[in-house]
Amino acid sequence: MQAILDEIVATIGVSNDRGKVADYIPQLACIDPNQLAISVALADGRVFSAGDHQQLFSIQSISKVFTLTIALGKLGDGVWARVGREPSGDPFNSIVQLEHENGKPRNPFINAGAIAIADAIMVGHQPKETLAEILQFVRFIADDESICIDHNVAESELKTGDRNASLAHFMASFGRMNNPVDYVLGTYFHHCSIAMTCQQLAKAGLFLAGDGENPVTGTRVVSARRARRINSLMMMCGHYDGSGEFAYRVGLPGKSGVGGGILAVAPGHASIAVWSPGLDEVGNSKLGTEALEKLVQQTGWSVFA
């Protein structure tokens, strides 16, 4: 495995076509695009890494997998009264679908859906408490107490967060927000600003590869049935309007973030985290996707074979 990862990083890491670093969040715009990391946490507990895997990056939308998991724990199937579970066929920040469907987001991974999920898990708590709870959960599943929120990124997002504010107020206008819009946005921007390394992220996703149980610690995080369902949502909706492309090329459930990270799950085999800041035209890590494509080719982990 180490040899495979080393070769992937060596081959792909020299690419001249690295995509474009997201520039709408100032704090992310200044990241050096010449970075690439991959970590594979196997079901047996071993973790292999290559490239800049000790480098912290902003997990951004990957955090939506974790908040969805928390929301399912709190509300069970009540979550589906708040968001749907179909691919949207639209970009991550589209508002058109919301108007056509009475303010109910198509799925929990587009921005509107994740904001609705943030609102759902606040249930009477203050943003601070909710954030503490989210952070505690991420530390628990990654088995790492050092994971933190990068408040500079969160502040940067707040200042340029008009599109997300628009989505939140739009849902509020349909009576779909239980908490003040400002509180929900604050929570959302902060959980998107959690900073992790590839190693930490791969370990955090291991319960999804293990039918809901972390195979290393033996801790059950969610039921087997729920783990499968979260995986299915990652497959169908994890890459916005590039989800079909990711399924076609990589063949694993995955969730990307605009910071350049992707968490992918090979059920029964491994949890995989990749990171490279340059994005393709629909907003997913360009080299990260290529790295995953190569890894699956060599391991045969595609769920479609």
Residues flagged as binding site for substrate: 61, 111, 157, 164, 188, 240, 258
CA distance 224 to 210: 8
| HSE value, Cβ hemisphere, 13 Å, CA-based, for 136 | 7
Q: Which residues are annotated as a binding site?
A: 61, 111, 157, 164, 188, 240, 258
Annotated active-site residue 188? The verdict is yes
> How many residues does the structure list for the chain?
305
| Start-to-end CA span in the chain (Å) | 20
Annotated active-site residue 64? The verdict is yes
Annotated active-site residue 61? The verdict is yes
Q: CB nearer to a second copy: give 31 or 303.
A: 303
CA distance 25 to 89: 24
Annotated active-site residue 74? The verdict is no
Give the other-Cβ count within 10 Å of 166's Cβ: 15
Q: CB nearer to a second copy: give 172 or 196.
A: 172
Nearest distance in Å: CB 107, a second copy: 7
Catalytic residue among 58, 156, 222, 240: 240
Q: CA dihedral in degrees (11, 285, 302, 42; nearest 10)?
A: 80
Nearest distance in Å: CB 46, a second copy: 21
The residue ranges that bind a second copy (CB under 8 A) are 84-90, 94-100, 106-107, 162-163, 165-170, 172-173, 177, 181, 211, 224, 227-229, 231-233, 235-237, 241-245, 247-248, 251, 253, 267-268, 302-305
DSSP, collapsed to helix, strand or coil, labels residue 34 as coil
Interacting residues of 20 by C-beta distance below 8 A, sequence separation 6+: 278, 279
Q: Which residue has the tokens 């020299």?
A: 14
Interacting residues of 116 by C-beta distance below 8 A, sequence separation 6+: 82, 83, 105, 108, 171, 176
Nearest distance in Å: CB 213, a second copy: 11
Catalytic residue among 250, 258, 265, 274: 258
Q: CB nearer to a second copy: give 75 or 303.
A: 303
Annotated active-site residue 63? The verdict is no
Q: CB nearer to a second copy: give 94 or 199.
A: 94
Nearest distance in Å: CB 54, a second copy: 31
Residues classed as catalytic: 61, 64, 188, 240, 258
